[in-house]
A and B are shown apart, each in its own frame.
Chain A
């Protein structure tokens, strides 16, 4: 089955530690995205990548970093500079059609204490 996987489902870290969230897709999509969701808010774009070896900041990129070395993988690192890292993180890829619908992973809930 084609899809997007994110691991782990739940992640706990101590304040001051960097943590990397995994996102893998086997849909052969070029474009991938990272979103963050906080209670009562919509999904906010952190970073996106239109193609391998290229990525752009979204609306809330401060305190995050990404890499896109392979088409299938788009990991997100939450650094110690991110002031409020506790949130639900969703990864998505975009279908290469004019509709451009996005396909989402199951998400990772990160808790930093």
Chain B
């Protein structure tokens, strides 16, 4: 079983703060790294799918970077808002079409 780890497990920030969290994954047999946002009482939704070393993706105030050689990805949120409160999941995809998920980072943004 592959080891995908996310840190921190949870994070409390004030509205307007910028924040970031980490996903570490195996650096071998890499195919893609997925980020999902999971709001309470909703279904997880895809944020980014990253495949190339050095890749950077952006969606509004959220961005992500990827380092496949050292096996990590960072997710950044600029100027956090209460609606950003969610659990952020990363998932490693190797040679098959299966995803191995990390434990998630639970973000809570206080107004």
| A contact residues vs B (CB 8 Å cutoff) | 4, 31, 33, 35, 40-45, 48, 50, 58-59, 90, 94, 98-107
Q: Kindly state whether residue B89 has any CB partner on chain A within 8 Å.
A: yes
Given contacts A4-B43, A100-B32, A101-B49, contact A94 B97 (CB under 8 A): yes
CB-CB under 8 A from B11, the residues of chain A are none
| B contact residues vs A (CB 8 Å cutoff) | 1, 4, 6, 9, 32, 34, 36, 42-46, 49, 51, 89, 91, 93, 97-104
- Complex-state Cα separation, A108 to B4, whole angstroms: 24
Q: How many A-B residue pairs have CB under 8 A?
A: 56
22 contacts between A and B (CB under 8 A): A4-B43, A33-B98, A42-B102, A42-B103, A43-B89, A43-B101, A44-B101, A90-B44, A99-B49, A99-B51, A100-B32, A101-B46, A101-B49, A102-B34, A102-B44, A103-B46, A104-B36, A104-B44, A104-B45, A105-B43, A106-B42, A106-B43
Most buried by A among B45, B51, B99: B99
